[in-house]
Structure 1
Amino acid sequence: MVIIGRLQAAIDIMEKEGAALVDRPVSISAGETLSGGMRVLLTPAGERFKKQRRALHAHLQPKVISTYSPVLMKHARQHMFDLVEDPAGHQTHAKRYSASVVMSLAYGKDPKGRDDPNIDAVNRCLTRLGHALRPGLWRVDVYPFLRYIPGYLKELQDGHAEELALFKGQLAEVKKAMERGEEVPQSFGKYLIERQAELELSDDETAYLAGSMFGAGSDTTASAISISIMAAACYPDTQRRVQAELDQVIGNERGEYAAFSSPTLIGAAWNPVVVGF
């Protein structure tokens, strides 16, 4: 280990050798084994990462994101109904909401209800990923030779097989619907299928790239919603002020997505949470 003790020396090294220093740390457990080296969050710099970025940028730039508001509002309304029916289960409802939104954006499909097995499978994958990313849990990230011990990584290898089967299965449904000539809603998965050859992605890479939307947005969105709900319960005076501003801006009508750029307190309530992630 080399420790740089002078600020200017550290700045000079970062500026002159930036290309060699910007990569992510190697993750044998979560990155190479559980994700097969295909999860964007953990993909090292290189040709694969460039291809992934190119595909993601075209579908996630601001002018495209603005078209997602109908999907967001649809699932937000269902989330409100879930909270009214079962307020004690707000964390479960937040997970269902976020997974439902991402499933709609990734595959153009809606869950079949609160207990949709696909939602359960996605949440299992996210839980497994979060577990694998815990520092120090898998010693193979410190001692790489452990990967050669038979059976040591079997849990992660089995998890990868389950993830890949889930992601490929979801994408296969979209592809079959397209081949049958059905009207398929626009989604990231559809975009990848239409441009797979152009993007130079393998079948596994395409499936993982579409599935990576879950890791990028589902878990963090659910956490942010749960934090906000618990904060509102703990600080009712602040919650009433936010509600008053919401009523003033939107009134008695049901608010639409465009209206939420106006309330100042709403932004102040959410932005610290967003920055935290």
Structure 2
Amino acid sequence: MEGTGGELDYTPLLNWPPLAGGLPDCTSWLLGAMLFLAGYLLLQHLWNFHRAVSRNVPPGPRPWPILGNFLFLLLPGLVGKGSSLESRRRTFLFPHIVLNDLAQIYGNVFSLFIGSRLLVILSNFETVKEALVTHADVFSDRPNLAMVIHVTQQKGIVFAPYGSVWRQQRKFSHSALRHFGLGQLSLEAKVIEEFKYVKEEMLKHGRGSVNPFPIISNAVSNIICSISFGKRFDYEDKEFKTTLKLMSRGLELGMNSCAILINLCSWLYYLPVGPFKELGHAITEIRSFLKRIIAEHKDTLTAGNPRDFIDMYLLHVEDEKAMNKSSFNDEYLLYIISDLFVAGTDTTTNTILWSLLYMSLYPDVQEKVQAEIDAVIGRDRPPSLTDKALMPFTEATIMEVQRMTTVVPLSVPHMASETTVFQGYTIPKGSVIIPNLWSVHRDPKIWENPDDFYPDRFLDGTGHILKKEAFIPFGIGRRVCMGEQLAKMELFLMFANLLQSFTFALSDETSKPSLKGRFGLTLAPFPFNVNISSR
């Protein structure tokens, strides 16, 4: 089928009987046209696939036509030796770990294919840094995958393409968040106020068993809501509780095999059955919740008096209306608010939950943190950010939890904006770049006994915080998490408040949960219950 100059020759297809010898009727003509189109698209796909795999791309498991490497999730023997039912189960549940295992076979830069789309996996710190910092001009874009388009329309801050619009939106958003307390002591009061509700909820259970997830999720979300929406929600608010559950489930569905299938066949997103229906429902309901909040703000907006992020953005939209091509509009606001609400809730919630789980599993570390809290703060006043510099072991414990769990283990996917050569390999334009941050944080060449929970690894010989360049829980480069400062503030204040007030232990009826976590866009702990004792 290949003609001169690498072009495809479709002559054999044109001589196929339904298209040769005339068109006897409309039905035959339509059938022939459809078959011709299907054949043309198939051949085009195979040709594109052949060109992709024949280039000097990074090594990896051999892909199959059309499906690429997706079959290694379904059939044994396609990844390497020892592939089994258990290994396939691990691929579904723990892809970050499986990708780390593949790096031991193929190297720190290797490739997979989803259909004909090339994925390049980066598996150690130097490689991730070189790609996202040294080659930031090429690797700062976001992929135009079907799943990303369905969920975000490539708008907002997290998944928007790299370029002038993204820079304008990020610059404004960061400035607006700072106006309402990001990185400043004024935000401290919001966290302390919210902790009063956390403490009240936990005290309701006395010394009994409690699932901390809904309490922590409500609290963390309310902090970002106070900045974004200018309000907090009661923990029993039915709509708020439902939205948080939908968000958690949507993030889990959005990064499993369901997402891979949608990227292979985008029409599956609209399938009214199974996980596809569930994912679509979650996205629709969350958007409806946020649209109602934006509509309420528009009805009560007062010029010159912004109450929160939404007000400030809406006022900026009015100021920009005189410009013909302004990127600021109500639709873009919806997606930015979605980013703030979803990312600002889920990542910090899971980090705090992991912290409580690790404190329950390592009571000696918990006691040492509490001793530092008692020595620096005491028990009569709430923790302040000004205490942080005097509490290195508490900070080191939080950092070690972040290293061990890496709540965004595969980062947010990047994309090559142009064809380039990276570490001797050709990376075609449009390739998806996956930095495996979990691998970076478990690299034995950087972290001694990386699978051990050991906060002292972040302390130097004098007991001060030891900064490590390879510690990158918020990513690295131009697309580093915009909410990093907010997350660090929340983590320290909430963690210190919790351990100042309570001691946590796993419930007697709860066996030790797996520390591998539940993989979605974020890595969440499996459900666990704790017994809470007031101090």
TM-score (normalised: structure 1):
0.82
Residue 326 of structure 2 corresponds to residue 204 of structure 1: no
Task: Give yes or no for contact 2:262–2:268 (8 Å, CA) kept in 1.
Answer: no
Residue 194 of structure 2 corresponds to residue 75 of structure 1: yes
Query: How many residues are paired up?
Result: 269
- Match 2:308 to one of 163, 169, 187: 187
Deviation at 1:108, TM superposition (A): 0.7
Superposed, which structure 2 residues align to 1:53-132 within 5 Å? 53-61=170-178, 64-66=182-184, 67-86=186-205, 87-132=209-254
Task: Give yes or no for contact 1:164–1:204 (8 Å, CA) kept in 2.
Answer: no
> Per-residue displacement from partner, 1:200-236 (whole Å, max 9, x unpaired)?
3121111221231122220111111111111111111
Task: Give yes or no for contact 1:34–1:159 (8 Å, CA) kept in 2.
Answer: no
- Match 1:213 to one of 323, 340, 346: 340
Residue 77 of structure 2 corresponds to residue 23 of structure 1: no
- Residues in 2 aligned to 1:159 and 1:207: alpha-carbon distance in whole angstroms: 15
- Residues in 2 aligned to 1:51 and 1:22: alpha-carbon distance in whole angstroms: 15
- Match 2:169 to one of 52, 76, 80: 52
- Match 1:268 to one of 386, 393, 396: 396
Aligned in 2, Cα 1:126/1:46: closer, same or farther, shift over 3 Å? farther
> Per-residue displacement from partner, 1:250-277 (whole Å, max 9, x unpaired)?
1232224234412111101112334524
- Residues in 1 aligned to 2:191 and 2:150: alpha-carbon distance in whole angstroms: 33
> Per-residue displacement from partner, 1:101-144 (whole Å, max 9, x unpaired)?
12111101010333441242144134213311225643232x3x
Q: Percent identity?
A: 18
Task: Give yes or no for contact 1:94–1:225 (8 Å, CA) kept in 2.
Answer: yes
> Per-residue displacement from partner, 1:23-51 (whole Å, max 9, x unpaired)?
2233311x211223224322222344223
Residue 158 of structure 2 corresponds to residue 41 of structure 1: yes
Aligned in 2, Cα 1:152/1:117: closer, same or farther, shift over 3 Å? closer
Task: Give yes or no for contact 1:111–1:119 (8 Å, CA) kept in 2.
Answer: no
Report which structure shows greater RCO (CA 8 Å, sep ≥6): 1
What are the ranges of 5 or more consecutive residues in structure 2 without an aligned counterpart?
A: 1-52, 60-106, 109-126, 321-325, 408-535
- Residues in 2 aligned to 1:14 and 1:205: alpha-carbon distance in whole angstroms: 26
Task: Give yes or no for contact 2:192–2:382 (8 Å, CA) kept in 1.
Answer: no
More moved, 169-178 vs 217-226: 169-178
Deviation at 1:148, TM superposition (A): 4.9
1:170 equivalent in structure 2: 293
- Residues in 2 aligned to 1:113 and 1:91: alpha-carbon distance in whole angstroms: 12
Task: Give yes or no for contact 2:226–2:232 (8 Å, CA) kept in 1.
Answer: yes
What are the ranges of 5 or more consecutive residues in structure 1 without an aligned counterpart?
A: none
Task: Give yes or no for contact 1:250–1:259 (8 Å, CA) kept in 2.
Answer: no
Deviation at 1:178, TM superposition (A): 2.5
Residue 341 of structure 2 corresponds to residue 222 of structure 1: no
Superposed, which structure 2 residues align to 1:148-167 within 5 Å? 148=267, 151-152=270-271, 155=277, 157-167=280-290
Amino acid at match of 2:352: I
- Residues in 2 aligned to 1:174 and 1:190: alpha-carbon distance in whole angstroms: 7
- Residues in 1 aligned to 2:356 and 2:135: alpha-carbon distance in whole angstroms: 45
- Residues in 2 aligned to 1:232 and 1:148: alpha-carbon distance in whole angstroms: 45
- Residues in 1 aligned to 2:399 and 2:134: alpha-carbon distance in whole angstroms: 34
1:147 equivalent in structure 2: 266
- Residues in 2 aligned to 1:81 and 1:255: alpha-carbon distance in whole angstroms: 15
Aligned in 2, Cα 1:159/1:237: closer, same or farther, shift over 3 Å? closer
- Residues in 2 aligned to 1:185 and 1:85: alpha-carbon distance in whole angstroms: 37
Deviation at 1:90, TM superposition (A): 0.9
TM-score (normalised: structure 2):
0.45
Aligned in 2, Cα 1:60/1:151: closer, same or farther, shift over 3 Å? closer
- Residues in 2 aligned to 1:152 and 1:28: alpha-carbon distance in whole angstroms: 14
- Match 2:256 to one of 125, 128, 134: 134
- Residues in 2 aligned to 1:160 and 1:136: alpha-carbon distance in whole angstroms: 14
- Residues in 2 aligned to 1:110 and 1:14: alpha-carbon distance in whole angstroms: 37
- Residues in 2 aligned to 1:257 and 1:15: alpha-carbon distance in whole angstroms: 34
- Residues in 2 aligned to 1:256 and 1:184: alpha-carbon distance in whole angstroms: 31
> Per-residue displacement from partner, 1:143-183 (whole Å, max 9, x unpaired)?
3xx2357944873555443333222211222232325x9x9
Larger radius of gyration between Structure 1 and Structure 2: 2
Tell me how large the CA RMSD over aligned residues is: 3.3
Task: Give yes or no for contact 2:177–2:227 (8 Å, CA) kept in 1.
Answer: no
Task: Give yes or no for contact 2:351–2:402 (8 Å, CA) kept in 1.
Answer: yes
Aligned in 2, Cα 1:4/1:190: closer, same or farther, shift over 3 Å? same
